[in-house]
Structure 1
Amino acid sequence: MSPKNSSGNPAKQAEQALTVKQQREAKRAEKLAEYQRQVAKRRRTGVMWWIVGGVAALAVVGVVVASIVFQPAPRPSYESGAGTGIEIAGVETFAHETTHVEGVVEYEQTPPAGGPHNQYWLNCAEYSVPQQNEYAVHSLEHGAIWVTYDPELVQGEDLETLRSYMPSSYYILSPHEGMDSAIALSGWNSQLKLDAVDDERIPQFFEEYWRSADVPEPNAVCTGAIDGEGKV
C-alpha cells in the first residue's frame, strides 16, 4: 500500500521528496543560524566582561597611583640629641633659669627661647593662632623646637614650605605677635631668626637642637598637657 497522501505519479513523488529535502535543509540552516547567533552572543558577552574587567583593573590601578602621588610627603627625620656643637650662622644662644611660675612672664626675647615658665607645657603640634608663651617655653625645656612666624609675611605656599620642615613630634608651629623677623626658630637657650622659608639653616637648626640632650628635661614628653587654641 502506498503511504498516505503519496501520489502514484512519479513527477509528483519527486516534487514531494524535494519539498521534504528543502524543509530539512531549511531546518538545518535555521539551527545553524541559531547556533551562530548563540556563539556571537557569547563572544559579545565575553568581550563585555573583558571590558568591564579591564575598566575595573584600570580603576584599581588609578586608585593606587593616586594614593601614591597624592599622599602627604613623609615627615623629615632628625636624630634625637644629635647636636655636635657646630656653629650655624645667625644662631643666638642664651643662659636662662628654669623655674615654674604662675602668671605672665616678661621674656627677654620675642618669641622667648627659655626662662621661667608655667608648670604645664603646650602639647607639641601646629596651631593656627598665637600661643601662650609660658606654656610653649615649658615645651622647649623638654627638647621641642618652637617655630613661629609673622602671619602677615608667611602664608599660603610659604607656610606650606615651612610645614615641610616639621618632624613628626617635638615641634610647635604657630604664628606669633610682635616679631621683628618673618620666622624664628627657638630651642631652649637657642634661637635663629630668618626672613625666608627656603633658608637652608632651618633643617640645620633642627639637626642641631631638636630634642637636644642639653635641655633641662631631655626626653620628657611633649604631649598630655595643654592643647592651645587653634590646634590643627
Structure 2
Amino acid sequence: MANDKTSDQARRDREALLEAHWASEAKAARKQKLLVGAGAVAAVALVGSLVTVAVVNDPPPPARQDIEIAGLETFEDLSAEHVNTPVDYEREPPVGGDHASTWLNCGVYTEEVPKENTVHALEHGAVWAAYNPSTLNEDEITALQEALPDTYTVVSPYEGLDSPITLSAWGAQVAVDSPDDQRIEDFVTKYWQSPQAPEPGAACTGGLDGPGRAA
C-alpha cells in the first residue's frame, strides 16, 4: 500500500511540474509583450540579468521545441473531421485524422480501445501509451502506468505492435522497448497537452468508456 501511495504521489508531482512549466512559459510570453514600449530596453536588461542569475541557480526545464527524442516521428496536415463510420488509418496506432464525434475517456484499459474515439482524445491533448500484451508482463504494464500522468493519458493493449510500447500524441509517435525508457518522460513533457493538438485542454472525461476500463 505504501508503494502505491508513493507511485500516486510521484505521478501527481510530475503532473504538477508539467502544468507549472507550461504556465511559466505562458507567463513569460505575456511578460515579453508587456516589455514592448517605453523603457523596454532598460526593462529587458534588468530582466535579463535576473534571468541569468535564476538560470545559474536553478536551470529551467527545456522548452517543448528543444526536447529531442530519438526515433520520434511527426506528421503534419492531419484531418480532424468527425465521422460516424470506421476510419482506415494509415498509421497504426493512429496519430490523428478523422475520428468519432465522441472522445474516449482517458484512463487505463485492459482491452483494446476503439481507435476512432481514442484519436478524439488525442485531439484534446492526451497521450496514448499502447502496449503489446504479448511482450509486456503484468509488472511492466504497471510500471508503464506509473510512468505516466493520471490525467490526459490512455493506456491500453494493442495487438500486433512492432515494439513493446508505442507512445502517440496528435501528430507524433515514438516506439520504446520498456517502461524504464527515458523517452517516455521526454515524450510526455513534449506532447502532453501540447498546443500542437487541435483542442488541447478539452475534456478527457464525460465521453465514451471503452471496453475493459480499469481506472
TM bin (shorter chain): 0.7 to 0.9
Instruction: Work out whether residues 110 and 178 of structure 1, in 8 Å CA contact, stay in contact via their aligned partners in 2.
Output: no
Scaled by the length of structure 1, the TM-score of the pair is: 0.68
Tell me the CA shift for residue 87 of structure 1.
2.1
What code does the residue aligned with 2:212 have? G
Number of the residue aligned with 1:107: 89
Tell me the CA shift for residue 195 of structure 1.
1.7
CA RMSD of aligned residues (A): 1.6
Deviation string, structure 1 residues 182-202 (Cα, Å, up to 9, x no partner): 100000000011122211110
CA gap of 1:70–1:220, structure 2 versus 1, over 3 A, is closer
1-side partners of 2:68 and 2:185: how far apart? 14
Report the more deviating stretch, 107-116 or 140-149: 107-116
Report the more deviating stretch, 71-80 or 161-170: 71-80
1:94 counterpart = 2:75: yes
Number of the residue aligned with 1:155: 137
Number of the residue aligned with 1:139: 121
Number of the residue aligned with 2:43: none
What code does the residue aligned with 2:102 have? Y
**Percentage of identical aligned residues:** 41
Number of the residue aligned with 1:187: 169
2-side partners of 1:176 and 1:154: how far apart? 11
Number of the residue aligned with 1:229: 211
Tell me the CA shift for residue 70 of structure 1.
5.8
Matches within 5 A, 1:3-42: none
Tell me the CA shift for residue 212 of structure 1.
0.6
Matches within 5 A, 1:74-89: 74=9, 75=11, 76-77=14-15, 78-80=17-19, 82=22, 84-85=64-65, 86-89=67-70
Scaled by the length of structure 2, the TM-score of the pair is: 0.73
- Which SS does the other structure have where 1:71 is aligned? helix
1-side partners of 2:92 and 2:72: how far apart? 14
Number of the residue aligned with 2:191: 209
Which consecutive residues of structure 1, in runs of 5 or more, have no partner in the other structure?
1-66
- Which SS does the other structure have where 2:162 is aligned? coil
**How many correspondences in the alignment?**
166
CA gap of 1:196–1:68, structure 2 versus 1, over 3 A, is closer
Please list every run of at least 4 consecutive aligned residues from structure 1 whose deviation after the TM superposition is greater than 6 angstroms: none
2-side partners of 1:193 and 1:181: how far apart? 6
CA gap of 1:103–1:215, structure 2 versus 1, over 3 A, is same
Which consecutive residues of structure 2, in runs of 5 or more, have no partner in the other structure?
23-62
Deviation string, structure 1 residues 54-98 (Cα, Å, up to 9, x no partner): xxxxxxxxxxxxx65663522232524845212211110002111
Deviation string, structure 1 residues 143-193 (Cα, Å, up to 9, x no partner): 000000000101222112111112120000000122111100000000011
